[in-house]
Structure 1
Amino acid sequence: MIPKSRVALACALLSLAAPLAACGSAADTGSDAPGIAVFLSTSANSYEQAQADGVKAAAKKLGGGKVQVFDGGFDSTKQIGQIQDAVTSGRFKAFVIEPIDGAAVAAPLSRAADQDIAVVCITSACGPDTTKIDLQFPGQAGVVGSDYQKTAAAMAQHAVDACADVDPCKVFYLNGDSTFPSDRLAKDAFAAAMKAAPANVDYVGSQDGKYDTATGRSVMESELQRNADIAVLVSLADQQTLGAAQAIDGAGRTGKIKIISFGGSKQAVEKVASGEWLGAQLTMPFSIGQTGAEIAIKTAQGKAPEHKAVDATTLAPVEGGLLTANDASGFEAQWTS
């Protein structure tokens, strides 16, 4: 995900003009029957577009009907309004939603389920406890999500491993956006893991990179002024990691700071393959969208999906989800930063 852009602004203007206006395409899968509504946090970047493409692929394969994509513009209130309007329209038999605020959307999604709409949440959970990848509101058809606390703890352990031969080993965490519930959970989980780390690990703190290359660069430049001898950088998003790497290069520290990033974008995979970055914790947006849509479509068709709750980490072809140079040469990324 990335911050609001001109595309998101355009979507907001369109939503004022018509309740069901959406930035994105309505893919015709050969059926005039009620179709699938895809609610994204934003549609202005490759990650979310890959999720939508996965939904469209599943709809085409399973006869799921037309797919319409709604851009939430990182605005939970707007996303809730889109859900309500989509329910009222009667045009959809299935919802696939990437929630901006998982707790806030649970009630309107439950009302959608009451109208026999198959609802599947993707990327993160919907409900009162976004740390649990399970069904949390009445009638929910499924969830394909990441446990951000678990992901952050795993990345913290990778940082500890990277510190094995360094004493002291300064670790800096570049968070995503602390206004997002998932990112707050990740930041807190990372800090807790660092607190329990061996004595040689010196956790110097965290700042938000805002899923933005320029912000990531600026934050890292400032951090290197405070802690020029950082040994490990862990970042929650490839977009901001690319900026942080630019700052590291500008400071003459390339090759001296081990970089671990969350995302698995094309750029990240190339950096890992070349040895510039130590590792990339993978996320598979096309597979997430496709799997979520398969659950929703099968449920709407009265069929039983193989699984209703799927840990998105298991969709990665690498055990544990961490891509290293040993695996990168044969890995094909599903999105670009």
Structure 2
Amino acid sequence: MKVFTKAIGAASVGLLALTLGACGSGSNDDAGASGSSGEAAGDVKIGLVTKTDTNPFFVKLRESAQEAAEAEGAEVVALAGKFDGDNEGQVAAIENLVAQGVKGILITPNSSTGILAAIEKAREAGVVVIALDTATEPEDAVDATFATDNKKAGVLQGSYVKAALGDKEPSVILLDGTPGGTVDTFRHDGFLEGMGLEEGAPEIKGQENTNGDQTKAQTAMENLLQRVPDANALYTINEPAAAGAYQAIKSAGKEDQIVIGSIDGSCTGVENVEKGVIGATVMQFPGTMAAEGVKAVVEYAASGTKPSGFTDTGTVIITNTPIEGVDSEDTTWGMDNCWG
């Protein structure tokens, strides 16, 4: 099993404001009110705060939010952190958006806890706050969450890797993302559950954080392979991390030794599954997250009705090497449903 190669830069150009205005219907009161009187939907301004503005996943979130806002006659202001893990940048973005008078903020938190004070202030100002992709901790720190069930995604990745190993004793390497994020924790824990392993199990031979960055993942994998030359199973937080790991694996001549699982479901990823470069990836659906988030803010602006709870926006294993007992779709289906 192999993993696809795809170069993705981790740095962004900073806080990038992208606005899209249109006209339509809808209403809302002043910030902090319940929304019984109303204003034109064209006056409904929605903030979007992503971890970065260059990762294709977040690009898809932004594009989908803008498309949904155009359809609803609303306006989107999109801001981003400078890098994955830039909590301070996201705090500044929230404060900026509240000052601009947004009715709602959609956010993919860099830190599931470090952003809470800024979110609380926004909600106190009457702004509805919805987490996309990454849940806060606690979950009810925001009004609602539209996201992948990341624990389930990790379980799916682990289940596939375990099944692909067959009777081989696992020798596992973990390439995690950014410490402190719920996405990172849920996917990590889910993978171990899917593998049937406990944290600290002897089968886990090495572990590094990569911030989901391809270059960092390649360096981490090069170092880990020196310590664990017999590794045969690899967890990756996302497809850029998997791409970096593959470069190290290929250089070491171990392409056919290590089963690699990943999570994202980008079109490039699906293409590389089709080419046999990656065994399987778990597809998620950022467009659904963004569109549902925009609709929820527009509804709040019109009626004062806030969204609540967690909405799972779906996960599907994509592979052309199906394994009995692991539900999956092939790359034809994948290309019809991928993003990026």
Coarse TM-score class (shorter-chain normalised): 0.7 to 0.9
Query: Which secondary structure does the structure 2 equivalent of 1:103 belong to?
Result: coil
Residue 26 of structure 1: CA displacement?
A: 0.8
Q: CA RMSD in A?
A: 2.8
* Aligned residue identity for 1:29: A
Name 1:330's counterpart in structure 2.
333
Counterparts of residues 185-224 of structure 1 (less than 5 Å): 185-188=186-189, 190-191=191-192, 196=197, 202-224=203-225
- CA–CA separation in structure 2 for the residues paired with 1:149 and 1:174: 16
Residue 223 of structure 1: CA displacement?
A: 2.0
Q: Please, which of 93, 99, 103 is the counterpart of residue 82 of structure 1?
A: 93
Q: Please, which of 21, 43, 59 is the counterpart of residue 33 of structure 1?
A: 43
Name 2:150's counterpart in structure 1.
148
RCO (CA 8 Å, sep 6+): is it higher in 1 or 2? 2
> Structure 1 pair 4/273, CA: closer, same or farther in 2 (3 Å)?
closer
1:57 equivalenced with 2:67 (yes/no)? yes
- CA–CA separation in structure 2 for the residues paired with 1:213 and 1:84: 31
> Structure 1 pair 148/331, CA: closer, same or farther in 2 (3 Å)?
closer
Structure 1 or 2: larger helix share? 1
- CA–CA separation in structure 2 for the residues paired with 1:260 and 1:100: 23
Counterparts of residues 124-273 of structure 1 (less than 5 Å): 124-126=134-136, 128-129=137-138, 136-137=140-141, 140-166=142-168, 168-178=169-179, 180-188=181-189, 190-191=191-192, 196=197, 202-273=203-274
Check conservation: 2:217, 2:244, Cα contact below 8 A: yes
> Structure 1 pair 205/151, CA: closer, same or farther in 2 (3 Å)?
farther
- CA–CA separation in structure 2 for the residues paired with 1:86 and 1:209: 30
1:300 equivalenced with 2:301 (yes/no)? yes
Answer with 209-218 or 144-153: which moved more.
144-153
- CA–CA separation in structure 2 for the residues paired with 1:70 and 1:209: 23
* Aligned residue identity for 2:219: S
Query: Which secondary structure does the structure 1 equivalent of 2:113 belong to?
Result: helix
Structure 2 regions of 5+ residues with no counterpart?
Answer: 1-7, 24-40, 321-328
Deviation track 1:98-157 (CA, whole Å, cap 9, x = no partner) reads 11223333343333334332321101123x335xxxxx14xx542112343443333223
Counterparts of residues 315-326 of structure 1 (less than 5 Å): 316=315, 321-325=316-320, 326=329
> Structure 1 pair 119/129, CA: closer, same or farther in 2 (3 Å)?
closer
Name 1:15's counterpart in structure 2.
none
Q: Please, which of 123, 131, 151 is the counterpart of residue 121 of structure 1?
A: 131
> Structure 1 pair 115/129, CA: closer, same or farther in 2 (3 Å)?
closer
* Aligned residue identity for 1:38: L
- CA–CA separation in structure 1 for the residues paired with 2:307 and 2:78: 25
Residue 307 of structure 1: CA displacement?
A: 7.6
Query: Which secondary structure does the structure 2 equivalent of 1:155 belong to?
Result: helix
- CA–CA separation in structure 2 for the residues paired with 1:194 and 1:48: 29
Check conservation: 2:150, 2:187, Cα contact below 8 A: yes
- CA–CA separation in structure 2 for the residues paired with 1:305 and 1:274: 45
- CA–CA separation in structure 1 for the residues paired with 2:158 and 2:295: 33
Check conservation: 2:238, 2:263, Cα contact below 8 A: yes
Name 1:110's counterpart in structure 2.
120
Check conservation: 1:280, 1:322, Cα contact below 8 A: yes
* Aligned residue identity for 2:21: D
- CA–CA separation in structure 2 for the residues paired with 1:195 and 1:80: 38
Residue 304 of structure 1: CA displacement?
A: 5.8
Q: Please, which of 48, 55, 70 is the counterpart of residue 79 of structure 2?
A: 70
Deviation track 1:2-22 (CA, whole Å, cap 9, x = no partner) reads 7752x34xx2xxxxxxxxxx4
Residue 163 of structure 1: CA displacement?
A: 2.2
> Structure 1 pair 331/304, CA: closer, same or farther in 2 (3 Å)?
farther
Residue 298 of structure 1: CA displacement?
A: 1.7
> Structure 1 pair 254/122, CA: closer, same or farther in 2 (3 Å)?
same
Check conservation: 2:319, 2:331, Cα contact below 8 A: yes
Q: TM-score, normalised by structure 1?
A: 0.79
Check conservation: 1:170, 1:232, Cα contact below 8 A: yes
* Aligned residue identity for 2:77: Q
Structure 1 regions of 5+ residues with no counterpart?
Answer: 12-21, 131-135
- CA–CA separation in structure 1 for the residues paired with 2:123 and 2:223: 48
Deviation track 1:26-53 (CA, whole Å, cap 9, x = no partner) reads 1123364131111111112221111011
Residue 252 of structure 1: CA displacement?
A: 1.7
